[in-house]
Structures are given as C-alpha cells and as structure tokens.
Amino acid sequence: MKRLLTLAASAIALSAVPAAAQDVAITNATVALGDGSEPIKNATVIVRDGKVVAAGADITTPADIPAIDANDAWVTPGLFATVTTFGLSDVGAVSQSNDTRAGGSPFSAALNTAPIVNPNSQHILIHRAAGITRAATSTMPSGSIFAGQGAIIDLDGDSNPVMRERAFQMVHLGEGGARLSGGSRASAHVLFRAALREAQALSGARGTPQTTEISGGDDVLLGRFDAEALVPVVTGQQPLYVAVERASDIRAVLAMREDFPRLDMVLIGAGEGWLVADSIAAAGVPVIADALDDLPESFEVLAATQSNIGRMVHAGVQVAISANSGNNPRNMSQAAGNLVALNRIPGAAGLSWGQAFAAVSSVPAAISGYDGKAGVLTPGAMGDVVIWDGDPLEVGSVPTMVFISGVEQSLESHQSRLRERYRDLDESNLPKAYDW
C-alpha cells in the first residue's frame, strides 16, 4: 500500500505536462483575504478560469463548480516572497550550482535574472509546498554596488517561471556597498550618482552620454551596458531596490530623490527604519524589512529591534516582511507570527494578525507590481489559493493543497521523497536504495 502511494506521488512529481486550471469552490473555510483584514469564519473562495471570482462569507457556490469542503481549515492566498534567489542556486556553498553572485563579472546593473531561473530547483518545490506561490528573485550585489535586474516569478514549476523580467534593479548603499565600491560610503555615493547621471544622459533627458567605464583595480564597477541598464531606473520605469540599514543612510538615500526625482524607490533592510519612520512614510517609499533582527550585527544596525516593522507600519510606512527573515524563505510566515506575538509585550510594537499576514502576501505583491493581483483573494486576483492544516502563521502549519492560477500543485520534492524512504529503517529484504 505504501509502495502504491509512493508511486502515485512520484508520478505527480515527475509530470512535466502543465495541468489545466480547474474551477474550484472551497467552502466552510476560515479565510484570510490577505488584504490586511482579519480572518473570516465559515467563508468560501471561488476560483474560475484561474482567477478568484469571490471570497468571503455569504457566498453562494455555483452549481457547476466542484466544491472542496475545507472542514474549517484555513484558506489563504498564496504567499509572496521578496527578495529571494529562487531558481538561481541549488546549494548555496556549491559554487558550481550557485548563480546568485557574479563577483568576477565585468557586468553589474546589466545582469538579468530572468533567463537563468530554473523552475525545477528544489528550493522552488520546497517553498511551493510551504505555500509560497510567487516571488521576486534576483542576483545579489557582488562585483559592484548594483546587483542587476531581478524578475518576478511564479512557483508552478512549468517551463515558464518568469512573470516579469527586468522587474526591478537593486543597489547596495550601506556598509556592503561601501566595501564593494572601494572601501567607503563616499565612494558608493559617487559611483551611484555618476551611474544615474550617465543613465540620465543616455535617456536623452539631461547631459551628454560619455563612454562609461568606471573601474577599481581589475574590477569594472560600471560599464556601458550597466549604464544603459540604468536608464529605466532613472526614468522611473523600473523600481530601484536600495539596500540600506542605518538611519543616516536611509535619510541620505531618501534625499537623492531631489537630484533624481523620478526614482521609484523601495528600501531593503532598513534595520534602523523605525528611527526615521516618519521620513520614510512622508516619502511614500515602501520597505522590505527583516522581521526579527534585534541584534547589533553591524554598526549600521545598532538600533535593531523586532519592533522595527511594527513601528514603521504604525507610522504609515508600507512594509513587507523580507523572505530573508529566517534561515530560509519558508520561515517568513513564522516571522509574521512573531510580530503578532509582540503585541503582548509591553513597549513593543507588533502587527495585527491581518497586517502580519498581509506583510507576507499582498504587501510584497503590491511592492512587486501586483497590487490587487497577487497575495489577495479579491475578485480578479490570480487564483493562487492555499489550504492549510492550521493557522498559517503558526509554527508547524503547512499547506495541504496549493493552487497556482487555479492549478493544483504537487507538494512533492527531494525532501518529501527522503521522508517517505526513511519512515522506517527496515532493510530486511533489500537496501533502502530500492525503496522509491
């Protein structure tokens, strides 16, 4: 019996044929819409043609749609992870398998993540089984302060993971950026401004394009292709994700919009964001922040506290919980739960359950350009629906079913196959290698 079940499971795992979107109604569920509202009991979610058509209480299930009785289980939109390296590496410390950093490349801003995303990566399969259905993925700053152009992907494992290529550019302007640009923040700022001025000239907006090649030693910090890649940044067509932590660095970054007013900025990190929360809110700049950092890991995060996100949200900042808040991105829902726990600690600033869930679903989706389209169960949104075996922010809860655009997904991976093989250690008939 066990063998039959396992065979069936592997057949799903190995199936390369994309399944068709199913129309489905999930009834009798505790539904979190993902929009910041609190969960709704006895609710229904209806997906038709790969999109959400209705979600909430008092919804009549159309007779022509197959219904799944959730039996009080939690149902939510798929989680949205930002910023990840999904599809860019198999094993972090195995350099041959790892495309996340191009430290030896002559290119930086010109790097384009989209063509190198591997939808069959185990990290994608494992995180899909954790309820993450879409993500931002990008190379990381390594050869220069510019990381390259990230992509927005889905995790359905079909042959076309990329939803939007060149979705954002990333630049490091904190301690790390200082090291990459020659050893000082001063150098990083000059490089950044010089690059944007050149991009401005290339765009025809102001100045005359020069033949750019800024190099430091043997490293090209900015070449012609990189400057060209920054044109959509300086013209505001492509968001610029700025990695920055220290309060004074955040202020300096916000001030750059005086010289480059069309920059569409998102802050990444902002470990001391709570100290300048009002300025960030006034600038209308969203933040992607690590939820649980509370140690002075470096001199740029001396004021780190788990209340950082709560305080920024209370000041009116739009904040997504970073997918890097834990050891791996599937822990971002745990991070969100921890922020709910803070509400019971005197002096701490937490999030409501609805806010916390939104910070791993609709808010990162909105920052990624999918406001109202992903991370929410509102009519017209993508049909990404997850049925959970418990409160999705509680440790230990996992999905029992995951739909992406209305297509039910396999929850199998290398990990689930190992789990099945080693349910017992019985080798009395044959070695474990035959148990698959």
Residues that bind other proteins (CB under 8 A): 90-94, 122-123, 126, 247, 272, 275, 292-299, 302-307, 327-328, 330-331, 334, 337-338, 340-342, 344-348, 389-390, 393-398, 414-415, 418-419, 422-423, 425, 432
| Phi (first) and psi of residue 268, to 5 degrees | -115, 130
CA-to-CA distance for 73 and 29, rounded, in angstroms?
Answer: 5
* Residue number, 109 or 351, with CB nearest to other proteins: 351
Q: C-beta of 76: minimal distance to other proteins in Å?
A: 16
Two tokens, residue 227: 């400057």
With a CB cutoff of 8 Å and minimum separation 6, the contacts of 316 are: 277, 281
Nearer to other proteins, 52 or 358 (CB): 358
User: Measured between alpha carbons, how far is 228 from 128 in angstroms, rounded to an integer?
Assistant: 35
CA distance 204 to 211: 15
The minimum distance between CB 300 and other proteins, in angstroms, equals 9
**Given the complex with other proteins, which of 299 and 434 has the nearer CB atom?**
299
Residue closer to other proteins (CB basis): 215 or 415:
415
Cβ closest to other proteins, residue 224 vs residue 421: 421
d(CA 338, CA 350): 8
User: Could you tell me whether strands 74-77 and 24-31 are parallel, antiparallel, or unpaired per DSSP bridges?
Assistant: parallel
Nearer CB in complex with other proteins: 36/310? 310
Q: How far is the CB of 141 from other proteins (least distance, A)?
A: 18
CA 234 to chain centre: 23
Q: How far is the CB of 416 from other proteins (least distance, A)?
A: 8
- Cα separation, 170 vs 392, whole angstroms: 30
Shortest Å, Cβ 385 to other proteins = 21
Nearer to other proteins among residue 307 and residue 405 (C-beta) = 307
CB of 394 to other proteins, least distance (A): 5
Give the nearer residue to other proteins in terms of CB position, either 64 or 424. Answer: 424
Name the minimum Å distance from CB 118 to other proteins. Answer: 14
Q: Which is nearer to other proteins, 193 or 432 (CB)?
A: 432
Q: Which two tokens stand for residue 361?
A: 């679903």
Nearer to other proteins, 116 or 302 (CB): 302
CA trace torsion 65, 71, 72, 76 (10° rounding): -40
Cα distances (angstroms) measured from residue 245 to each of 113, 159, 168: 24, 37, 19
Least separation in angstroms between residue 348's CB and other proteins is 4
Least distance CB 175 / other proteins (angstroms): 10
CB 226 within 8 A of CB 219: no
Residue type, 428: S
Contact between 176 and 212 under an 8 Å Cβ cutoff? The reply is: no
Task: Tally Cβ neighbours within 10 Å of residue 71.
Answer: 9
Comparing CA positions, the residue from 399, 367, 433 lying closest to residue 168 is 367
Q: DSSP 3-state assignment of 120?
A: coil
Task: From residue 218, give the alpha-carbon distance in Å to each of 103, 108, 131, 213, 328.
Answer: 12, 14, 44, 12, 34
CB of 435 to other proteins, least distance (A): 12
